[in-house]
Amino acid sequence: MSKISDFLEKIHSAAPTPLGFGADRSEKAPGLGLFASLNKPTKQKLSTLCNNVDAIIFSEKPDNNLVKDIAIPWMCSGTDSEESVSSLVEIGCDSIHCDLSAEVSAIANDDISVFLSVPVESDWNQLMILNTLPVDGYIINPKDLSSISLKKLSEIGSITRSTDKYCLLSINQSPTASELEALRKVGVMGLIINGDEVSTPDIKKLKTNLTDMPNPNHKRKQRPQVKSVFEIEE
């Protein structure tokens, strides 16, 4: 299991112990994980983000000099071949983010976790098929989350409740405390912010809000267990 998957598993289990990578044992566990996507990484930006988020998501393979001393796990998007994934693992990549165009051989690497982009508009039959794919998690990208209506929450929930995989949600605006709790209740385990655009004070505020979320006072429902296509016996 990758570090990112291990982190999300602890959030899913609502573990009361600290979850951050390298976190002090006195720190409170966050209600949701916080990830930052980066299109234009710099050493200064990475240094700032590493102090305020749980993991980084690069839009393409980063320079080895940027990530060789990075203090938190990182994921890379746009990887679709076995060769590209192998080259990422060599420089410390923890997980990859892909879409349905990725080669099966690319995601068969046991050294990484795989997160699949899932369209919000996917219907139930599509979601049932997607859940059989050999990936560890989903990344949900709504078109607009400036506010969260019941309709948008139900669209997100239709994905999270159709699977036993870890679900991350891309956001373009920090949710309110009540919205954070609603997202957690429907099964979201982490939020992805745009690390190129969101200011450091806003990131710190969101991180504080996630840390201040109360521990769940109920056990999460067991997610449906659907076998991977590679596990189904003929």
CATH number at residue 162: 3.20.20.70
| Whole-number pLDDT of residue 84 | 87
Q: How far apart are CA 123 and CA 114, in angstroms?
A: 22
Q: Average pLDDT per run of 10 along the chain, which is 234 residues long?
A: 91 58 55 95 92 95 91 89 89 94 87 92 90 95 82 93 95 91 95 94 95 72 52 53
| Whole-number pLDDT of residue 119 | 86
Say if 220 falls within a structural domain.
no
Say if 79 falls within a structural domain.
yes
What's the total number of domains in the chain? 1
| Whole-number pLDDT of residue 108 | 86
| Whole-number pLDDT of residue 180 | 95
Strand positions, DSSP E, the chain: 33-38, 55-58, 74-77, 95-98, 113-118, 137-140, 166-170, 190-194
| Whole-number pLDDT of residue 233 | 54
Q: Judge whether 120 and 159 are in contact, CB under 8 Å.
A: yes
Phi, psi of 71 (to 5 degrees): -90, -15
Q: Which domain holds residue 88?
A: 3-13+31-211
Say if 232 falls within a structural domain.
no
| Whole-number pLDDT of residue 173 | 87
| Whole-number pLDDT of residue 162 | 93
| Whole-number pLDDT of residue 208 | 94
CA proximity to 54, closest of 161, 179, 164, 166: 166
Say if 106 falls within a structural domain.
yes
Q: How far apart are CA 30 and CA 8, in angstroms?
A: 11
| Whole-number pLDDT of residue 229 | 47
Say if 70 falls within a structural domain.
yes
- pTM comes to 0.85
| Whole-number pLDDT of residue 23 | 47
Crossing angle of the two packed helices 150-160 and 177-186, in degrees rounded to 10: 30
203: helix, strand or coil? helix
| Whole-number pLDDT of residue 177 | 92
